[in-house]
Amino acid sequence: MDLANFASLSHSLPALLLAFSVVAVFLLDLVIEKKEWLGDIALLVVAAAIFLVVMQLSSETGTLFHKSIVLDEFGLYFQLLVLLSSFATIWMSLGSREVRRLNQGEYWAILLAATLGMAYMASANNLLMAYLSLEFVSLTSYVLAGYSLHSRRSGEASLKYLIYGGVASGAMIYGMSWIYGLAGSLEFHAIQQALAGLDASGQLALYVALILTVAGLGFKISAFPFHMWAPDVYQGAPVPVAAFLAVGSKTAAFALMIRFFLTALAQPGGGGTYEIVGGVRWDHLLLVLSALTMTYGNLAALNQQANVKRLLAYSGIAHAGYALMGLVVLTDDGLRAMIFYLTVYYLMNIGAFLVVMMVANSTGREDLASFRGLAWRGGALPAIAMAVFMFSLTGLPPLAGFIGKFHLFAAVVKEEFYILALIGVANSVVSLFYYAKIVRTMFLDQPEGGEGVVEVDMHNGLLLGLLTIGTIVLGLFWGPLFDFADRSARLFVG
C-alpha cells in the first residue's frame, strides 16, 4: 500500500493531533491565566494520541506521503513508547517543583513538539524525513535542556548540547548526502536495491558515509564516543526533561537506527535473519560501538560520586551499548530483544528519574548525599522503588531488567558471539557496583540530619507505583509483552 498525500492524512491522526495541539497550546498560553492547565491539556492530548495509535495497531501496513513515512507495527510500537515517555514526562513535570517554579506555558507546547518529532523518527522511511525529524527533536531538546532560565548549569547544558548536536547533525547530513549520491535515492528501500551492486570504490565511499551517519545517530542514543553531551545535559536539565531525553529521544533514535540499518542497508535473509547489502560490514562497526559504549559507560559511572542524574546519564550510555547488541546480531531474535529491552528500559529509567525528582522536590538537591538514609526518613516507598529500579538496571532477576538482558544475551549467544556476551555480562557485574552504591546510600547509611524528609504525594506516588509494579511484574510474566514486541519486530520494506 502506498498512499498519496490526502489519503495518507487519514492514517496520520496521532501526528495531526499532536501538531494541532502544539499550535493550540501556544495560542492558549497567550490567553489563559492558570498555566498549569496547559499541562493538563498536554497530558490529555498525549493520552488521546496513545489511544489513536493503539487503534491503528494491526491495521494495514504500508507507506504514506510518497513513501516518506511507514505505517507498520514496528513504527507504531515505537510511537507508543515515545508517547508513553512523553506522557510520563508531562505527568512528572506536573508534579515537579522545579518545573512549576518556571511556570511557563510554552514548555508544554515544546514538549508536545518534541514528541511529534520523535513519533516521526519512529516511522521515517527516507533520509530526508529521518534528518528532518531528528533535527526537529534536537532543536526542541536544546530548548528543553536549557529551560531552567535562572540556572547557569541549565544554560551551559543547553549550549553544550547545541554545539555537539550541531556537529553531529552536520556529520550526519554529510554522510547521508554521500549515501544519496551512491544510491540515487532518498528512500530506504530504493537505497537498499541500489546498493546491492556496489563496486569496491563505492563500498569505500559507503563506509565513510556510514561512519558519518552513525555519528549523528550515535549522538542521539549517546553511544561512545558521541556521548559527551549526555552527563552535562542530564545534570543541567530539569529532571523531567532529563528523563525525556534519556528515554524518549533515545528510544526514537534507536527506532530510526534500526529501520535505517535493517531496511536501507540490509534485506531479510530468511529464517529470521538479515543480510547486509552493499558489502560494508556495518555490523562489525556496531559491534565495536556496542562493546565500547557499554564498557565506557559503566567505567565512567563508577567514578561518579556526586550527582545521581549524572550517574544515570552514564548508566544510560552503558544501556545504549547493551541495546545495540540486539542490532549487531542481525536476526529477528536480536531485534525483538532490543524492542523488549527498550520497553523495559523505559520503566526502569523513568522510574529512577522520578525518584530523583521526588528527592529533589523535598530537598532541592540531586546529589548522592541527599539520598542518604532515604529509607529511614519517611521515604521508604521511593527508596524501595529506587532499589527495584537499580537492581533491575543491573539485571537481577526476578526484575524486568533481567529479562531484557536475558533476551539480548540469548540473541547474542545464539549467534555465537560469545566474546560480546562475555563483555556484556562483565559489564553487568561492574554496573552492580555503582547501582548498589545508590541502594547502599539509601538503606545502609544513616541520615545525618539536614537531608530533609521526602514526602510522597498522590500524584507522583501513583506513577511511581505503576512503574515499580511494572518492573516487578514484567520480571515474572513477560510473555504477552514479548509477543507484542515479536509481532512488532517485522519491518515493512518496500
Residue 164 vs 434, nearer CB to other proteins: 434
Q: Give the residue, chosen from 66, 406, 466, 472, that forms a contact with other proteins under the rule CB under 8 A.
A: 406
Residues 419-448 close enough to bind other proteins by CB under 8 A: 421-422, 425-426, 428-429, 432-433, 436, 439-440, 443-444
Binding mask 443-462 for other proteins (x = CB under 8 A): xx------------------
Question: CB under 8 A: which stretch of 104-112, 114-122, 223-231, 403-411 binds other proteins?
Answer: 403-411
CA–CA separation, 427 vs 441, rounded Å? Answer: 22
Q: Which is nearer to other proteins, 29 or 486 (CB)?
A: 486
Of positions 414, 452, 472, 490, contacts other proteins by CB under 8 A: 414
Least separation in angstroms between CB 140 and other proteins: 38
Least Å distance, CB 426 to other proteins, is: 7
Q: Does 329 bind other proteins (CB under 8 A)?
A: no
- The residue count for binding other proteins (CB under 8 A) is 30
Q: Is 417 in the site for other proteins (CB under 8 A)?
A: no
Contact 148, 102 (CB under 8 A): yes
Helices (H), 187-249: 188-195, 200-220, 229-236, 239-243
Choose one: 119-127, 199-207, 244-252, 401-409; the region binding other proteins (CB under 8 A). Answer: 401-409
Rounded to whole angstroms, what are the CA distances from 412 to 287, 337, 393?
Answer: 11, 10, 19
Part in contact with other proteins (CB under 8 A); list of ranges 124-132, 154-162, 397-405, 461-469: 397-405
Return the closest-CA partner of residue 437 out of 403, 492, 387: 387
Q: Which residues on neighbouring strands pair with residue 274, listed in sequence order? A: 268
Asked whether the CA dihedral 376, 380, 385, 388 is positive or negative, the reply is: positive
Residue carrying C-alpha cell 565495536: 288
Angle at 379 between CA 311 and CA 100, to 5 degrees: 70
What spatial distance separates the first Cα and last Cα of the chain, rounded to whole Å? Answer: 9
Binding mask 367-396 for other proteins (x = CB under 8 A): ------------------------x----x
Give SS3 for 260.
Answer: helix
204 CB neighbour count, 10 Å cutoff: 12
DSSP H or E stretch at residue 64: strand 62-64
Comparing CB distances to other proteins, the nearer of 103 and 303 is 303
Establish if 66 lies at the interface with other proteins (CB under 8 A): no
Amino acid type, 23: V
Whether the ω angle into residue 397 lies within 30 degrees of 0, i.e. cis, is no
What is the distance between the alpha carbons of residues 459 and 287, in angstroms, rounded to a whole number?
A: 42
**Which string of x and - marks every residue 114-133 that binds other proteins (by CB under 8 A)?**
--------------------
Footprint of other proteins on this chain (CB under 8 A)?
Answer: 391, 396-398, 402, 406, 409-410, 413-414, 418, 421-422, 425-426, 428-429, 432-433, 436, 439-440, 443-444, 477-479, 482-483, 486
